[in-house]
Amino acid sequence: MADLDDDELLEALGVEVAPIKAGGRTPREERIIAGFEDILRFHEAHQRVPQHGEGRDIFERLYAVRLDQLRKLPEAHALLAGLDKPGLLFAAPATPIDVDELGEDALLAELGVSSDASDPADITVLRHVRSHAARQAAQEIADRTPCADFDKFQPLFERVERELKDGLRKALAFKGEASVEQGNFFIVGGQFAYVAEKGEEFETSSRQPDARLRLIYGNGTESNLLMRSLQRALTQDGNGRRLSEPDAGPLFGPLFGPKFGDSAEPDDIATGTIYVLRSLSKHPFISEHRMLIHKIGVTGGKVAARIADAENNATYLLAPVEVAAEYKLHNLSRTKLENIFHRLFSAVQLDLTIEDRFGKPVKPREWFVVPLQVIDEAVARIRDGTITEFLYDSQTARLASAPTRGDMA
């Protein structure tokens, strides 16, 4: 009986398990993967392989039995090769235990099947079986490859660890559909994870926003997964966390240090582009003031791709646009940066309502009646960290020094 696999053990115990459909994998392969993920979580939490022994927790003993069985299965080695980063399948095995020593209840528990007659779920239903979306999210998280340019990212992880240790950052619980942006740090599966790239957002079949990410992990690996997969993984991981921005003031956080320039430093990461657009709309007001009306935005993708369908998008005034200026960002929070532009130019925000394709009135944001040279100066002030000392004077159409507390007294 010691050589029986999961399916054979279930059959010997008289338990029939309904097949679970999973794209690309058989139900047996899904169970093998799910079982090995439990072992990986134990290894990550305790930094050792599960051991046999009566004095040990029952779950540890069950994981140890499961690992012994997986080591004997050639098919498991091939199936789990991508997951087995610690090399558990090839490590020196602990003293094996005959599964005959375990009773039926322990065997059922080891295989993830409830044997409690009072359990409202039928005995033939596997426990811990996740939805297809949850399994897909876990698989995408697990499908990691070595990061070829990790030397560029390693200083970021080292700095984040220091900031977390020094209390400059906080590890916050991840809540549901919370946003994921380029430059964000998370803890998922016990690993630091950095969102190095975020593609253009699109709608899922359920009309939810999604985007493809390049996620870099602190152990030198990376994965190319969907934003919603990361959100699900963080939500389902009891220890999943979002790392706050460093506490460096109420407005800027870490944004405006010496690393904001046109060229990236060795330990700096380009997180996106400030883009300034000019509308080619034939609307009378826009035509008259075309050289003064600009849309200011920040993107982590390509500007050309973002504006490709401008004439069908109310955000772009339902008209083609041209790029008036672009500025590279390095090591910045794009959301905070957009908020700074909105605060700075709020008094001259374009007050224009148009109808979208469905006749619904829309009032686009991020369009301002401001000369391009003033936007250039604002970016320069952001670079040197002095933007908080200035306000936009719409009467003179230039940046003016903000009043100090002494001036207001």
Mean pLDDT, rounded, for 68-77: 86
Res 112 pLDDT > 50:
no
Res 166 pLDDT > 70:
yes
Which tens digit of pLDDT belongs to each residue from 237-292?
A: 778 888 887 653 333 333 444 334 444 444 333 467 889 999 999 989 899 999 99
pLDDT category, 16, cuts 50, 70, 90?
Answer: low
Cβ-Cβ contacts under 8 Å for 131 (sequence gap 6 or more): none
DSSP per residue, 146-209: E-TTHHHHHHHHHHHHHHHHTTSS-EEE--TT----TT-EEEETTEEEEEEEE---EE-TTS-E
CB–CB of 395/401 below 8 Å? no
Q: Which residue has the higher pLDDT, 408 or 209?
A: 209
Q: Where are the domains of the chain?
A: 6-129, 137-243, 270-408
Average pLDDT of the chain is 75
Asked which of 54-63, 142-151, 184-193, 297-306 is least confident by mean pLDDT, the reply is 54-63
pLDDT category, 110, cuts 50, 70, 90?
Answer: very low
pLDDT category, 46, cuts 50, 70, 90?
Answer: confident
Mean pLDDT, rounded, for 77-95: 79
Asked which of 206-220, 274-288, 310-324, 356-370 is least confident by mean pLDDT, the reply is 356-370
Q: Which of 314, 402, 401 is nearest to 366 (CA)?
A: 314
Q: Give pLDDT, residue 123.
A: 38
Q: Give pLDDT, residue 120.
A: 42
Res 128 pLDDT > 70:
no
Cα distance between residue 386 and residue 389, in whole Å: 6
